Structure 1
Amino acid sequence: MIRTAHWLGYAGLIPFISLTLGMSLHPLTAVAFTTYSAVILSFLGGIHWGVALSKPQWSNPTRLCLCMLPSLLGWLALLLPMTGSLILLIGSYLSWWLWDRAQLIEPDYRRLRVQLTAVAVLCHLVWLVQT
């Protein structure tokens, strides 16, 4: 996997970490955190959508429908109260990580996803404890 993908992945953690560290600074920080989280969750589904469209053996209605699941769960999380939103987002990140692990076997991508998911989920857990 190209180095740029790693740097962009790690840079994507900056909002998670900074909003978690600044959670008590402004009332809209919680909205910013959950909104960013929903956007990133949607992006994870888009990765599978791209793979499904580029690999004929993966391009089937079931897989394409599953690719939409992170976007729908992220949107639903934005409609819930904060505690419910955080629980749904944590469960979605962990579930999608398991799906990634079962479907995408590239070792470098798997390693990166473990690291990124661990930090994102940890930030969500901090929010959950503080809520």
Structure 2
Amino acid sequence: MTRTAQGLGYAGLIPFVALSLGMNLHPLTTVAFTTYSAVILSFLGGIHWGVALTRPEWSTPTRIGLCMLPSLLGWLALLLPTQGALIVLMISYLSWWLWDRSQLDQPDYRRLRFHLTAVVVLCHLVWLVQT
């Protein structure tokens, strides 16, 4: 994994952390947090989509369909009240992290995903406790 990919991965945590720290500063902070979370969740499905397009053994209808799941869950979360959205998003991140661990065996990626998922889930927990 390149340093650029790692750096961008960690930089992607900035909105999660900043919006969690400033959750009461503006009425749109909640919308910004849940929307960003849904977009990033969708991105995680895209990683598997990319792998499925490059590995013939992954190009099954079931695998490609599963790649769409994070996008659909993120979209569903945006239709729910705040607490429901936070719960769906948090469970989705944890579930997709477990799926990643069972499917992708690259140690650097696994380590990065663990760090990123831990922070993202912690931010969702902070929001759940405060809302």
Q: TM-score band, normalised by the shorter chain?
A: over 0.9
* Partner residue, 2:125: 125
C-alpha distance in 2, partners of 1:75/1:120?
A: 18
Query: How far 1:70 sits from its partner (Å)?
Result: 0.1
Q: Does 1:58 align with 2:58?
A: yes
Q: CA deviation at 1:52?
A: 0.3
RMSD: 0.3
- What is the aligned-residue identity percentage? 80
Runs of 4+ displaced beyond 6 Å: none
Separation in structure 2 between the aligned mates of residue 66 and residue 56 of structure 1, nearest angstrom: 16
Which residue of 1 is the match for residue 12 of structure 2? 12
Q: How does 1:1-131 map to 2 (within 5 A)?
A: 1-131=1-131
Structure 1, unaligned runs of 5 or more: none
Task: Return the letter of the residue paired with 2:28.
Answer: L
1:15-59: CA deviations, max 9, x gaps?
000000000000100000000000000000000000000001111
TM-score for both structures, normalised by structure 1: 1.00
Alpha-carbon distance between aligned partners in 2 of 1:58 and 1:67, rounded to the nearest angstrom = 11
**CA displacement 1:88-130 (0-9 Å, x = unmatched):** 0010000000000000000000000000000000000000000
SS in 2 for 1:109: helix
| TM, length-normalised to structure 2 | 1.00
Identify unmatched segments of 5+ residues in structure 2. Answer: none
